[in-house]
Amino acid sequence: MKMQTPAARPQRQPGERIKNAMTCDVEDYFQVSAFAPYISRDSWPTRECRVEANVERILALFEQNDVKGTFFTLGWIAERYPQMVRRIVDAGHELASHGYGHLRASDQSRAEFDNDIRSAKALLEDIGGQQVIGYRAPSFSIGEGNLWALEALTEAGYRYSSSIYPIAHDHYGMPDAPRFAFYPNGPDGLLEIPITTAMLGKRKLPAGGGGYFRLLPYALSRWMVKRVNELDNEPALFYFHPWEVDPGQPRPEGLGAKARFRHYINIERMEGRIAALARDFAWDRMDRIFLSKP
């Protein structure tokens, strides 16, 4: 990275409750990276799609708990469910890009990546009727080996990315990246907003959702978010997927033990845990929390 300029901390009134960023990666169960060795892309159009019903459940949960969030949406999904995209926007949530076809950024050339992020942005803006300024790479697949992707996002008109997870993981992660929002190429470039981690001594704990949120006791996840708010005085960034609130989803045959464990662990508890998180903390959209001008 040329620079690692920290973003300015949000300005709050004394005693004001910190608003954290709630995000949802809008993809279906058969599109997750862990299933890629078992489910071919060619089969996607023939599989039962459950994303629309699951997003409806999430929108209802958010409405009940006065939560506004950011929906990082695949172009492949938006193309097939345009009314769902419009319902997200009409409910007051931010529409952002998750790329078109859930291809990892690290598996694409610069030209392929450029085409993916531009086509997804144009498609989402056409369907949603609002400017799309945020992007999240599938599987947090921007790291040391493809930091050129951040420049490509800037050139494509994005203002922020949430594509780096500053932990060590076998599928993703950039452990040495800053823990909080920063400008990788200086303050005139793209703002990168990493998934949240909490510190326990010198140990960095994953505090931002996903499989870790389903695996760990809810009390620990709540403690980590609270610790980030109170000790670091920073907003936390949480993410999850529509398929994580769907215990009845089809279960493909032949999955490896690791993929099966990661995908299904405590999935029947996820909706209740998100509802608890919604009640225990204040939440808002990425653009309103991290950018001076939404």
> What is the three-state SS of 244-285?
HHCCCCCCCCCCCHHHHHHHHCCHHHHHHHHHHHHHHCEEEC
Tell me the three-class secondary structure of 81-136, residue by residue.
CHHHHHHHHHCCCEEEECCCCCCCHHHCCHHHHHHHHHHHHHHHHHHHCCCCCEEC
Is pTM beyond 0.75? Reply is: yes
* pLDDT tens per residue across span 229-277: 999 999 999 999 999 999 999 999 899 998 899 899 999 999 999 999 9
Q: Is position 3 within any domain? A: no
Q: What is the pLDDT of residues 54-112, one digit of tens each?
A: 999 999 999 999 999 999 999 999 999 999 999 999 999 999 999 999 999 999 999 99
In a domain, 217, yes or no: yes
Distance between CA 284 and CA 267 in Å, rounded?
24
Contact 149, 163 (CB under 8 A): yes
Q: Are 77 and 27 in contact (CB under 8 A)?
A: yes
Residue 294 above 50 pLDDT? Answer: no
**Is residue 107 a part of any domain in this protein?**
yes
pLDDT tens per residue, range 133-163: 999 999 999 988 899 999 999 999 999 999 9
Instruction: Say if 239 falls within a structural domain.
Output: yes
Q: Which residues pair with 20 in a beta bridge?
A: 283
Token output for 159 = 């203002």
Residues 49/80, Cβ–Cβ less than 8 Å: yes
Asked, for residue 275, whether it belongs to a domain, the answer is yes
Q: Is 189 exposed, middle or buried (0-12, 13-18, 19+ CB in 10 A)?
A: middle
As a whole number, the mean pLDDT across the chain is 93
Residue 167 belongs to domain with CATH number: 3.20.20.370
What is the number of domains present in the chain? 1
Instruction: Give the list of residues 6+ apart from residue 267 with CB closer than 8 angstroms, or none.
Output: 214, 244, 246, 247
Closest CA to 162 of 183, 188, 191: 191
The answer to whether residues 117 and 109 touch, using CB atoms and an 8 Å cutoff, is no
Q: Please give the structure tokens belonging to residue 147.
A: 């930091």
Taking the C-alpha atoms of residue 120 and residue 222, their distance in angstroms, rounded to an integer, is 34
Domain assignment present for 5: no
CA neighbor of 289 nearest in space, from 20, 66, 25, 65: 20
Question: What domain range is 83 assigned to?
Answer: 18-290
- Alpha-carbon gap, residue 82 to 98, rounded angstroms: 15
Tokens standing for 121? 């942005």
In a domain, 10, yes or no: no
How many percent of the chain have pLDDT more than 90? 81
Residue 84 falls inside a structural domain: yes
pLDDT digits over 167-224, tens only? 775 566 688 889 999 999 888 889 999 999 999 988 899 999 988 999 999 999 999 9
Nearest in space to 25 (alpha carbons), one of 86, 87, 69, 89: 69
